[in-house]
Amino acid sequence: MNDLELRLKGKVPGPDTGIEVRKSVCAICDPGTQCGLDLYVKDGEIIKVAGTKEAPHSHGTLCSKGAAMRQYVYSPDRVMTPLRRTGARGSGEFVPISWDEALDEIAMRLNAIKDEFGAESVMFYSGYAKWARAYLMRFALDFGSPNYLTESSTCATAMIMAQQLTYGMPAAADLKNTECVIFWSHNPSATKGLNLASINARIEAGCKVVVVDPRVTDIAQRADVFLQIRPGTDGALALAFGNVIVGEGLYDKEFVESWTRGFDEYRRLVEGMSPEKAAGICGVSASDIRAAARLYATSKPACIHFSAAPVVHHTNGVQNYRAVFCLIGLTGNIDIAGGNRMNPPSLVHQPGGFPTREREFTGAGRLADLPERIGSARFPVWARLSNEAQACDIPRQIETGSPYPLKALFALGLNHRMWPASQKFIEQVCKLDFIVDVDLFLTDSARYADIVLPACSSAERREIRCWPMGYVQFTQPAIEPVGESRSDVDILSDLSARLGLGDELLEAGIEACVEWMLEPSGLTVAELDKHPEGMWVPGAKPPAERKYLSGGFKTPSGKVEFVSSVLEEIGGAAVGAAGAPATGDAAAGDAVASAGAAGRAGYEPLPSYREPQMSPVSCPEMAKEYPLVLGLGARLPMFQHSRTFRLPWTRALSPDPHADVHPRDAAAAGIADGEWMRVVTPAGAVTVRAHVTLVTREGDVHLYHDWPQANANDLLDGDYLDPISGFPGYRSSLCRIEPADVRGEGACHD
């Protein structure tokens, strides 16, 4: 082999090899943890993928998903042209059409539906991809529809609501400067691998760690105190922390006196939740609860690392997280270095330490003049605190036509399997007159659309991103779009013109929009274009500590609210009645749940503890037939929701659907490790392999969601929702397991 051949074989970039390294970003996972990508391109094709070493957030790392980026970009499932449906909905029968035909038809149909039924009858939806959301929201509001909805109807918003109700805005853990961190439901090894290095560095530097999780995660094994709780009992545990902290005088008296609302009521509430009582509810020891509470309250500073999902994926989720978040104010750890800091987002939900006009760009202010959003009547706190409609109410509104009929759905990345009772969800959606789905892949959900539009990946488009240390990147396409695919934002710009929405900025395209959003930061597109790998934002810095000292907290009282004014007002219960402490020796759920009887159920102004609606405690009769607690959705590192099952490399790491089961539960059901079993609930059944493991508690079963052949969400009822947020109770219901009479592949039907 000559030198050139060797260099070609080694994929060495250079003029002789014709291989060029282009900087990009892997947008497969969460905007907070996406890695910088070096894409090696030859003759317009990506031939190699590596992490960007200079990227200050990812330092050259890539996970299994990013490493499989070529398989993602060049997947045979990519949609190559716009498609028009010719067969029945779901049949997958389509014909290719041109972009002009597709966009003209969409514009014509949407405008006709708007004329006949009003703009609000058209829904504008975004799946997990977050980068194009500001543009979609603006587009929806331009059209005149209040019904901009996203997958955040099940992700993050409820956690944010719990913080808004308590502090007015979210406050993130400042891990870098902390002495003690509670990971209250977070498994970074699977979900935010990028953060592991800094977490490990803090632990090695002596930072104390408490982990609250029903499963033995990597981080749990490194914890000073690990509380392996029964799913959905976080609220009781947090109140017991409060009991110890208040009872032992470990709280920040000065802060509590000056800056909190409802401390006396809170004190009475926590007095009713001794560590012994919480131990009985949560399945952990009272002494561990005391040890953890003392550690958190006496380490200065200390923070709570929360997650967007598991705690609020319960029918008591918002109140449970409110009980947790109350501890931050109680100990005076709010908005201080090493505590929980209030840092507003700059771009795509990420704080960057610089101001932008992203929020203004969405035009959210126009919502006030539009009809009520989907879910507003059923979830009024949501309607008050969020700018989105609550998508979990879509099936009900389609079915009943109340308060008005829904007729069309325009979606960027629809995945019906993410919703509880997925089959019923898609059946209702199929009653709409017109469905458009924009996706990279011809997914099972896209098969139900009337028109499918091909979206391109992050390697083929421009998108703007920032990271908390003040770094920003406006990517350049590394390759031409695969097939005829286009960027979502280009599609929205083009469609906006065809619909005649009169939005010159959106029509002008992504560069003009980005320039507009960045105006307050002093950044320009011209400057960003000189740095396709990203750049430091001059002058970026996190906001000052303790901003509340001037202007207070953004709650109605201006204080940290143990007793929430919003829940008091909307829930309609007097604090005395609703805040009655959890007393008595009876099943805790009953005792506390009845306390809310004076108001809207579940809306107690104090973060009272209620049992999950389906649990061995709240449903003892049902539990005779379905004795195990079912958690749906604990993440696996190689999968990103529905997206990476189709990639050979990631799929090879976990080929079959499986559920984690404790050895004693598996033995009781007569199931051995690796055998096929049925997971059965009152709503349905799926067949998966048993993964018999000591990672789970005895009595719990954990199953990853989104498997096409074993859809976890068919095991739930569509109305199994938290009454405040409308979030589904994915992480605790009841099930039983039984051996399945299948062999090997026979169990799987795609």
Kindly state the tokens that stand for 301. 């500073």
In the complex, the smallest distance separating the C-beta of residue 33 from ligand MGD, rounded to whole angstroms, is 7
Query: Contact with ligand MGD (CB under 6 A): which of 82, 534, 581, 633?
Result: 633
Q: Is 424 in the site for ligand MGD (CB under 6 A)?
A: no
**How far is Cα 327 from Cα 336, in angstroms, rounded to an integer?**
14
Count of residues of this chain found to bind ligand MGD when the rule CB under 6 A is applied: 57
Q: Is 110 in the site for Mo ion (CB under 5 A)?
A: no
DSSP string, 187-249: -HHHH-GGGHHHHHHHHHTT-EEEEE-SS--TGGGG-SEEE-PPTT-HHHHHHHHHHHHHHTT
Kindly state the tokens that stand for 161. 């609501």
**x/- site string to ligand MGD, residues 655 to 694, per CB under 6 A?**
----------------------------------------
Q: Is 137 in the site for Mo ion (CB under 5 A)?
A: no
Q: Is 155 in the site for Mo ion (CB under 5 A)?
A: yes
Site for ligand MGD in 459-488 (CB under 6 A): 488
Q: Is 191 in the site for ligand MGD (CB under 6 A)?
A: yes
Site for ligand MGD in 316-335 (CB under 6 A): none
Backbone φ and ψ for 703, nearest 5 degrees, come out as -130, 130
- Select the span of 426-434, 439-447, 468-476, 649-657 touching ligand MGD (CB under 6 A): 439-447
The full 3-state SS of 507-546, as one line of letters, equals HHCHHHHHHHHHHHHCCCHHHHHCCCCCEECCCCCCCCCC
Percentages helix, strand, coil for the chain (3-state, rounded to 5) are 40, 15, 45
| Binder of residue 310, out of ligand MGD, Mo ion, none (CB less than 5 to 8 A by kind) | ligand MGD
Q: Is 213 in the site for ligand MGD (CB under 6 A)?
A: yes
DSSP string, 259-275: HEE-HHHHHHHHHT--H
Other C-beta atoms lying within 10 Å of the C-beta of residue 370: 16
| Binder of residue 127, out of ligand MGD, Mo ion, none (CB less than 5 to 8 A by kind) | ligand MGD
- Select the span of 147-155, 184-192, 341-349, 714-722 touching Mo ion (CB under 5 A): 147-155
Exposure letters 34-72 (e unless 16+ CB within 10 A, then b):
bbbbbbbbeeeebebbbbbeebebbeebbbbbbbbbbbb
Query: Contact with ligand MGD (CB under 6 A): which of 133, 277, 305, 643?
Result: 643
Query: Contact with ligand MGD (CB under 6 A): which of 297, 455, 466, 595?
Result: 455
Site for ligand MGD in 15-34 (CB under 6 A): 29-30
**How far is Cα 470 from Cα 536, in angstroms, rounded to an integer?**
6
Nearer to ligand MGD, 72 or 548 (CB): 72
Three-state DSSP class for residue 603:
coil
Query: Contact with ligand MGD (CB under 6 A): which of 23, 133, 313, 736?
Result: 313
- Select the span of 46-54, 413-421, 515-523, 543-551 touching ligand MGD (CB under 6 A): 413-421
In the complex, the smallest distance separating the C-beta of residue 295 from ligand MGD, rounded to whole angstroms, is 17
In the complex, the smallest distance separating the C-beta of residue 643 from ligand MGD, rounded to whole angstroms, is 5
In the complex, the smallest distance separating the C-beta of residue 541 from ligand MGD, rounded to whole angstroms, is 27
Query: Contact with ligand MGD (CB under 6 A): which of 82, 214, 339, 353?
Result: 214
Count how many residues are written for the chain: 750
Three-state DSSP class for residue 389:
coil
Q: Is 666 in the site for Mo ion (CB under 5 A)?
A: no
**How far is Cα 660 from Cα 540, in angstroms, rounded to an integer?**
44
DSSP string, 130-151: -TTHHHHHHHHHHHT-S-EEEG
- Select the span of 187-195, 289-297, 373-381, 589-597 touching ligand MGD (CB under 6 A): 187-195
**How far is Cα 581 from Cα 585, in angstroms, rounded to an integer?**
12
Burial of 585 per CB tally in 10 Å (0-12, 13-18, 19+): exposed
In the complex, the smallest distance separating the C-beta of residue 469 from ligand MGD, rounded to whole angstroms, is 20
Q: Is 52 in the site for ligand MGD (CB under 6 A)?
A: no
Element (DSSP H or E) covering residue 400: helix 394-400
Q: Is 443 in the site for ligand MGD (CB under 6 A)?
A: yes
**x/- site string to ligand MGD, residues 81 to 120, per CB under 6 A?**
----------------------------------------
Nearer to Mo ion, 497 or 636 (CB): 636
In the complex, the smallest distance separating the C-beta of residue 155 from Mo ion, rounded to whole angstroms, is 3
Query: Which residues, 6 or more positions from 549, have their beta carbon under 8 angstroms from its beta carbon?
Result: none
Other C-beta atoms lying within 10 Å of the C-beta of residue 288: 17
Q: Is 154 in the site for ligand MGD (CB under 6 A)?
A: yes
Nearer to ligand MGD, 135 or 639 (CB): 639
- Select the span of 14-22, 183-191, 240-248, 536-544 touching ligand MGD (CB under 6 A): 183-191
- Select the span of 166-174, 306-314, 341-349, 684-692 touching ligand MGD (CB under 6 A): 306-314
| Binder of residue 730, out of ligand MGD, Mo ion, none (CB less than 5 to 8 A by kind) | ligand MGD
Other C-beta atoms lying within 10 Å of the C-beta of residue 600: 17
In the complex, the smallest distance separating the C-beta of residue 466 from ligand MGD, rounded to whole angstroms, is 18
How open is the CA angle 458-159-177, to the nearest 5 degrees?
A: 80
Q: Is 312 in the site for Mo ion (CB under 5 A)?
A: no
Q: Is 713 in the site for ligand MGD (CB under 6 A)?
A: yes
Backbone φ and ψ for 454, nearest 5 degrees, come out as -80, 120
Tell me the C-alpha to C-alpha distance, in Å, between residue 301 and each of 206, 223, 338, 340: 13, 17, 5, 9
Q: Peptide bond preceding 607: is omega within 30 degrees of 0, i.e. cis?
A: no
- Select the span of 44-52, 149-157, 177-185, 507-515 touching Mo ion (CB under 5 A): 149-157
In the complex, the smallest distance separating the C-beta of residue 404 from ligand MGD, rounded to whole angstroms, is 25
Q: Is 311 in the site for Mo ion (CB under 5 A)?
A: no
- Select the span of 184-192, 286-294, 368-376, 661-669 touching ligand MGD (CB under 6 A): 184-192
| Binder of residue 214, out of ligand MGD, Mo ion, none (CB less than 5 to 8 A by kind) | ligand MGD
Nearer to ligand MGD, 485 or 521 (CB): 485
**How far is Cα 387 from Cα 364, in angstroms, rounded to an integer?**
7
Query: Which residues, 6 or more positions from 539, have their beta carbon under 8 angstroms from its beta carbon?
Result: 354, 522
Backbone region of residue 64 per phi and psi (left: phi > 0; alpha: psi in -120 to 50; beta: other values): alpha
Q: Is 634 in the site for Mo ion (CB under 5 A)?
A: no
Query: Contact with ligand MGD (CB under 6 A): which of 57, 186, 202, 267?
Result: 186
Q: Which residue type does 414 have? A: L
**How far is Cα 584 from Cα 611, in angstroms, rounded to an integer?**
15
**How far is Cα 43 from Cα 695, in angstroms, rounded to an integer?**
48
- Select the span of 14-22, 208-216, 378-386, 470-478 touching ligand MGD (CB under 6 A): 208-216
CB hemisphere CA count around 94 (13 angstroms): 25
Provide the binding-site residues for Mo ion, judged by CB under 5 A: 155
Binding site for ligand MGD (CB under 6 A): 29-30, 127-129, 151, 154-155, 184-187, 190-191, 212-215, 217, 229, 231-232, 234, 307-311, 313-314, 412-413, 415, 418, 438-441, 443, 455, 488, 631-635, 637, 639-643, 705, 712-713, 730-731
